[in-house]
Every structure is written in C-alpha cells, then in structure tokens.
Amino acid sequence: MLVTNGALHWEDVAQGAEIPSVSLEITRNRLVMIVSATRDIFPLHHDEEFARAAGHRAPAVATAFLQGLLGRCLTDWTGPEGRIRRLGLTLKAATYAGDTVSAGGRVARKYVDNNDHKVDCELAVVTQDGTTTVTAEATVVIPSRGWDPKH
Amino acid sequence: MTTGELSPELQAYVGRVSSFVEGPDEVNKAMIRHWCEMVEDANPLYTDEAYVTAGDCGGITSPPTMLSTWVYPQWWPPVAMPSDVGPAQLDLPLGDVPIPAVISWTDEYLQPVRPGDRIRYNTRLDDVSPLKRTRLGIGHFITTTNYYYNQRDELVGTTRYVLLRYRLAEQEPTGQ
C-alpha cells in the first residue's frame, strides 16, 4: 500500500480528537447530482409536492448522500490509506434540499483488533441552523507505524 | 407507544431470507465518478489510476458507501423486484402504512469492491415491531439485513436497515 507523506497514523490519533468537518450546500444542481449518483428516484427526494404531502417542508435528500458525505469526511481525515469498515447512521431529522450540511465528529476510541489498528468515531451531520439531522458511528482502520511498509 | 402485540401472522415472516437480486450493471468507473462529484470526494483510491498503480492498491476501489447503489434497480425498462428483497418488505400485510422513513442504516464493509465486479444481494427480515405511535406517525419498524456478494461468492458487505413504514397521525407532523 502506498503511504502518502503526512498520512495519519494510528499512533498520532488521540481519543477525543476532532475529525474536521466537511460542508456542502444542497443546491438544486446538487440535488440533481444526488438523484443521479444514488439512483434513488423515490419522489420524496426531489418532488416538492410529494414531500409536502408526506409532511416535509421540502424534498428530503436520500440517505445514501449522507453516507457518502460521512465517508468523505472520514477519508479526508485519514487520507486514502484509511479503510472504513463500518458506518452506521441514525436519522434524527430529514435533511432538506436547500440546506447546507456539515459532517464532522471526534475520535471515540482507538484499539488494536486482530492486528488491525482501529479507530471508532462519533460523527454528526448538522445543518446551517444547528439541527443535527444524522448521528453516526464509524470504525476505520488506519496505518500503524509498526505495520507501515515505509518504516 | 405500542398499540398492540405483533400478530402471529406477521411474526411468521420474521427470519425469512429472500432470493438473490443482481445489480443491473457491473461496478464501473463512471458511476464511481458521479458519486465522487456528488460529495466532492477527492480520495485518489476512487478515481486516480496513477495513484493506485503506483501504490500497488489492486486497482481503483469503489467508495465503500456506494455498496447499496450497485444493486439499485434499473429505471427502465421496469423490472419486477421480489417483494421480500430490500428494507421496505412490501409484501408484509401491514395495512395502511404507505410512507417509508429510514431510521437507521448501518453498513459493514468486508472486501474491496472494484470496477468489473458484479454485486448481488439478498435480504433477511430480522424483526417487525408492533404498530407504534412515533413522532412521524403511526407505523411499524422493520429491521432487515442485506448481504452483498461479488462474482466470486465473497461476502463484500452488509447493510442493516431499520425502516419505519407509517401513516400520518390526525395532526400534521412538525416538519420532519
């Protein structure tokens, strides 16, 4: 595996450390990209009238988008050597077209499991008005200096 | 608030395992790029041939979060999906609960998924709740697990869904 200069190593991760946020505005264009990339054409995700009839104020984006955003948040932090092993989302509120979302979190725990150097992360997706729409837990495996082929 | 016990009729469905459904396309670089565009993900494992070649990474890898996308059914021409596949479990005799809402969605990623792979999956119905009153409306929580395999019959990942299928209560919800 290629280990990029400056890549995050397990030894450098502290419990409680911040996982930096990534933010995106869900513009109309991005909504179209979400529908296209996730393949999810359920009308709730793009149709205002359908969404209102279901009790929502606007189209609610597909959960797969939020997964993708959280996945990006994790590997932006670890670098490309990080491997996401588990990602679990709990949906607290709908995330709507027009919102600006930020995904970030903190390190909950680090440990070695069967030679894998693992980090458990607690994450959240928060909108521009401070609403937490998703909480998430993730487990990532990141390189250890002891196992790093360049060391 | 639980409004009753789960009926024996519904209980009998718990534990069933569906037949397999294969994704319409093999894993491919174009759909990976569209995914990366969606969330502006610059991870070179997903799109940078030079990086993965230099790093001996075994080639391009699909973003793990795309797992369920690889088996999303084609839009046209329509294909008949078995009603026992996926989180909605549409053939369950639940009555008038037309609106689905994902409550939780937990993926485990066990093997890399790469361009050229063919992904298929089946679904186990893990649990159905009795009818409950929730902040969204009145409905049943349905817990299922999707098991995804590649063309070598390797389990590449799983998704455990908790889905609420509900109807609106008499009062309108508060906008969530």
Angle at CA of residue B70, ends B65 and B71, nearest 5°: 120
Distance CA B88, CA A78 (A): 34
B68: closest CA of chain A, how far (Å): 8
**What pTM was computed for the model?**
0.92
Please name which of B64, B121, B137 lies closest in space to residue A75, comparing C-alpha atoms: B64
Contact criterion met (CB below 8 Å) for B40 and A33: no
Binding-face residues of B in 13-52 toward A, CB within 8 A: 31, 34-35, 37-45, 51
Kindly determine whether residue A38 and residue B72, on different chains, have CB atoms separated by under 8 Å: yes
Q: Which of residues B175 and B117 earns the better pLDDT score?
A: B117
Task: Work out the percent of chain B whose per-residue pLDDT is above 90.
Answer: 86
B25: closest CA of chain A, how far (Å): 12
Residue B56: per-residue pLDDT:
87
Q: What is the pLDDT of residues A81-133, one digit of tens each?
A: 999 999 999 999 999 999 999 999 999 999 999 999 999 999 999 999 999 99
Bridge partners, residue A117, by sequence: A112
Q: What is the pLDDT of residues B148-161, one digit of tens each?
A: 999 999 999 999 99
Residue A54: per-residue pLDDT:
83
Q: Average per-residue pLDDT in chain B?
A: 93
Is the per-residue pLDDT at A12 higher than 80?
A: yes
Residue A151: per-residue pLDDT:
40
Residue B66, classified by CB atoms within 10 Å of its CB into exposed (0-12), middle (13-18) or buried (19+), is buried
* Chain A contact for B58 (CB, 8 A cutoff): no
Contact criterion met (CB below 8 Å) for B121 and B20: yes
Distance CA A125, CA A103 (A): 4
Residue B2: per-residue pLDDT:
59
For the segment B55-79, the average pLDDT, to the nearest whole number, is 95
Residue B67, classified by CB atoms within 10 Å of its CB into exposed (0-12), middle (13-18) or buried (19+), is buried
Task: Collect all residues of chain B within an 8 Å Cβ-Cβ radius of residue A88.
Answer: 104-107, 160
Contact criterion met (CB below 8 Å) for A81 and A4: yes
Residue B117: per-residue pLDDT:
98
Kindly determine whether residue B57 and residue A37, on different chains, have CB atoms separated by under 8 Å: no
For the segment B101-120, the average pLDDT, to the nearest whole number, is 97
Bridge partners, residue A109, by sequence: A120
Is the per-residue pLDDT at B125 higher than 90?
A: yes
> What ipTM score was computed for the predicted complex, to two decimals?
0.94
Q: Which of B49, B134, B176 to mutate to test the interface with A (most CBs of A within 10 A)?
A: B176
DSSP string, B44-101: HHHH-HHHHHHTT-SS----GGGGGGGGPPPSSS--PPPTTSSTT-TTS---S--EEE
Please name which of B78, B105, B80, B102 lies closest in space to residue B91, comparing C-alpha atoms: B80
Q: Which amino acid is at B30?
A: A
Element (H, E) at B31: helix B29-39
For the segment B140-154, the average pLDDT, to the nearest whole number, is 98
Contact criterion met (CB below 8 Å) for A87 and A67: yes
Is the per-residue pLDDT at A6 higher than 90?
A: no
Residue B13: per-residue pLDDT:
97
Locate the chain A residue with the closest alpha carbon to B136. A55
Q: What is the pLDDT of residues A46-94, one digit of tens each?
A: 999 999 998 899 999 999 999 999 999 999 999 999 999 999 999 999 9
Minimal Cβ distance to B38: which of A56, A65, A80: A65
Q: Which of A42, A46, A56, A72 to mutate to test the interface with B (most CBs of B within 10 A)?
A: A72
Residue B92: per-residue pLDDT:
95
